[in-house]
Amino acid sequence: MSITNLRSVPTPTTALDDWKVWQHAQRLSHRTISERIRVISQLHNESGVQPVNAQAIDIVEWMAEHDEWSDSTAVTYASYLNAWFRWLQITDRRSDDPMVKVGTPRTPDREPRPIADSDVPKLLNARMWTKTRYMILLALLAGLRVHEIAKIRGEDFDHAAGLIWVRGKGRSVRSVPMHPVLREVASLMPETGWWFPMRGYPGEHTLSKSVSDIVGRTMRRAGVKGTPHALRHWYGSALHDDGHDIRVVQELMRHKSIASTQIYTKVSDQRRRDAIVGLDLMRGLRDVA
């Protein structure tokens, strides 16, 4: 083999397997672990620098090469790098943390982007497979994320209590009351096993990316703008716009922090207009009276 060919052979990323085992021991979700591993491997493959030995300048130059990343992606990847270098310090693999010099990208102000109310009937009236419709209804009426939809099972529906038990982020299991439409859907689906099994592998659930692709294609065909996650945004925004307390919405969206809920709960233009119209210059006199 020539020297050129030897250089083209990618070298393993040092300590990555140990970090993976450590994260599993911390009971982090498989999704979080796989994404962290992917990003650290990407840093190694694209920069040619072993992440164990990476310096601040290596990280800055690597991130600067990716203008296509959104602000939120840059923030997420920086958090993965922070976790990586903290672990290296904890396990005495290095004494410094280059992320101190790199700093943290500014977290962007995020606006909720629900699909329009008028787009909901448009989407539901579009031609689609029955199971695609059920995926969409789980997002619109229970606020499920695509990876939660992919893993939904018949056993997750407690018909007597009227609850859906959802396996969410970080291995959490939370309940959501069943909407009447979802009660009807659940009565038509198997009581046990995956609702959406992987094609050719009935013992495995479909991939979250498959759910995202299927729902996304259906939305585009129906002329509905937005991503599949915008259906969850609509769920949160509609609950809030119907006058439900933000704490109720937080519980129904299964958020640990109310700050996360506020990202999803868009205040409608009509409610904002009503608030302005209701401003009373004479309110001081009214209070005295």
Inside any domain, residue 8: no
Hey, what are 29's tokens? Answer: 């979700």
Inside any domain, residue 214: yes
User: Nearest to residue 59, comparing CAs of 73, 71, 44, 70?
Assistant: 44
Instruction: Answer for the pair 123, 136: CB distance below 8 angstroms, yes or no.
Output: yes
Instruction: Answer for the pair 233, 264: CB distance below 8 angstroms, yes or no.
Output: yes
- The domain that holds 86 is classified in CATH as 1.10.150.130
Which residue is listed with tokens 């199971």?
A: 131
Inside any domain, residue 141: yes
Q: DSSP secondary-structure letter at 164?
A: E
Q: Do 259 and 130 share a structural domain? A: yes
CA–CA dist 225, 14 (Å, integer): 43
CA distances from 39 to 76, 82, 101 (A): 10, 12, 19
Res 1: pLDDT: 38
Q: Do 124 and 40 share a structural domain? A: no
Q: Do 188 and 152 share a structural domain? A: yes
Res 289: pLDDT: 53
Inside any domain, residue 284: no
Considering its fold, how many domains does the chain have in total?
Answer: 2
Domain of residue 189 covers 119-268
Q: Do 65 and 24 share a structural domain? A: yes
Q: Is 162 helix (H, G, I), strand (E, B) or coil?
A: coil
Hey, what are 94's tokens? Answer: 């290095």
Res 2: pLDDT: 40
Inside any domain, residue 289: no
CA–CA dist 164, 159 (Å, integer): 8
Res 254: pLDDT: 87
Beta strands in the chain (DSSP E): 157-158, 163-167, 173-177, 197-198, 201-205
pLDDT tens, residue by residue, 259-274: 878 777 767 777 777 7
Beta strands in 131-268 (DSSP E): 157-158, 163-167, 173-177, 197-198, 201-205
CA distances from 227 to 10, 118, 148, 231, 236 (A): 35, 16, 16, 8, 15
Q: Do 177 and 138 share a structural domain? A: yes
Res 78: pLDDT: 93
Inside any domain, residue 113: no
pLDDT tens, residue by residue, 160-215: 999 999 987 666 788 899 999 999 999 999 999 999 999 888 889 999 989 999 99
Inside any domain, residue 133: yes
pTM equals: 0.66
